[in-house]
Amino acid sequence: MKKYLVLLHRDYKIDISAKNEEEAKELAEFYIGGEKDLSREKERIEHAFRIDGIEIKTNDAFEIEEYKD
């Protein structure tokens, strides 16, 4: 089996309820890991937010390189 380095570009649509636009941006950037909400209930209460949905919009490999022995 061959081994490859693959670079991916992914874009997500995030639906988030937050105090304001700046917090929505920062909280989405911090708590999204792949297509998962990584926040805990304590953090959602502390920062007064809720991630309502995550949808991947693009998932593109833009560079592939085979490792050489």
- Asked whether 49 and 23 are in contact (CB, 8 A), the reply is yes
pLDDT given at position 69: 75
pLDDT given at position 2: 93
- The sign one gets for the Cα dihedral 7, 29, 34, 39 is positive
Domain that holds residue 61: 4-66
CA distance 22 to 34: 21
pTM above 0.85, yes or no: no
Name the stretches of the chain with pLDDT < 50: none
Total domains in the chain come to: 1
CA distance 21 to 12: 17
